[in-house]
Amino acid sequence: MSEALNHNIETLVQLALAEDLGANGDVTSRTTISPDTQLCGQIVAKADGVIAGLAAVAATYRHVDPDLVVQPCVADGTAVTPGTMICEISGSAQSILTGERVALNFLQQLSGIATLTAQFVAAAAGTNAVILDTRKTTPGWRLLEKYAVRMGGGQNHRIGLYDMVMIKDNHIEAAGGITPAVNAVRADSIGATLPIEVEVETLAQLREALDLNVERILLDNMSVEMMREAVALTAGRTPLEASGNMTLQRIGSVAQTGVDYISVGALTHSAPALDLSMRLSRLT
């Protein structure tokens, strides 16, 4: 796990705990449970899925109470079924309950993304198409959510506006066309060092983009039939990415057109949380 990702986890966990605890802390647990009570909390899957986010669970409990013992039972990227034990937390009952909701929020959200990604990857199986995420992420959560995509078997598109140039329809309109837009990027000292992707909506635009030798071309909201034509026209000269209205029902037919990549915004903006729960038991 990268230093940047670890820093992102630490920052988000501290924000989440501050939001949940406020100035008074966990009043319910503090007043109803003896500080001497020791319990074991077990996080268990209640549905089929793929796990992601165990580092956030560990970070949550490290900030709540460094004396707690957090023991993952599976690794991120593991497929689970109902009843699978995912993680155990042992120690102060007060502390376990104080961190429960924050820990589960991270784990459920990220596991939901990994699970949906795995479903898209499975739907494209048997083709060469790679499933990509997008920048349609929860503000502040981008590195974490893109990590979850990788745990589900997908790959990451650009992280932000700084590491790849993507010339979309509005850029093309404002610049006066695809060719002027690409030339302007290549004339920039930073832009010239970055890969360029151009979005096209028609085969005529595709031909223009192909002549510019950019690193990737995005086929935006094309029909499956037009994508097939685009793949034939390109003939392997430039990697092609399909995007727009990508659903599980449609992904197989899109992948079979021969495109190299399929970007799916739903991986991060519409993934349902994976159903997980924590059950407590006395330490023996």
Residue 101 annotated as catalytic: yes
List, in order, residues 6 or more apart from 176 with CB less than 8 Å away.
Answer: none
Radius of gyration of the chain from Cα atoms? 23
DSSP E strands: which ranges in 47-195? 49-50, 69-72, 79-80, 85-92, 130-132, 165-167
Q: Which of 136, 186, 228, 250 is catalytic?
A: 136
Q: Which of 199, 216, 241, 260 is catalytic?
A: 199
Q: Which of 201, 208, 220, 229 is catalytic?
A: 220
Indicate the SS3 state at residue 200.
strand
Residue 146 annotated as catalytic: no
Tokens of 36: 């001497």
Residue 199 annotated as catalytic: yes
41 bridge partner residues? 89, 280
**Amino acid (one-letter) located at 123:** A
Q: Which of 46, 62, 101, 135 is catalytic?
A: 101
Q: Which of 30, 168, 207, 279 is catalytic?
A: 168
Residue 102 vs residues 5, 21, 263, 269: alpha-carbon distances, Å: 18, 10, 30, 20
Residues designated catalytic: 101, 136, 168, 199, 220
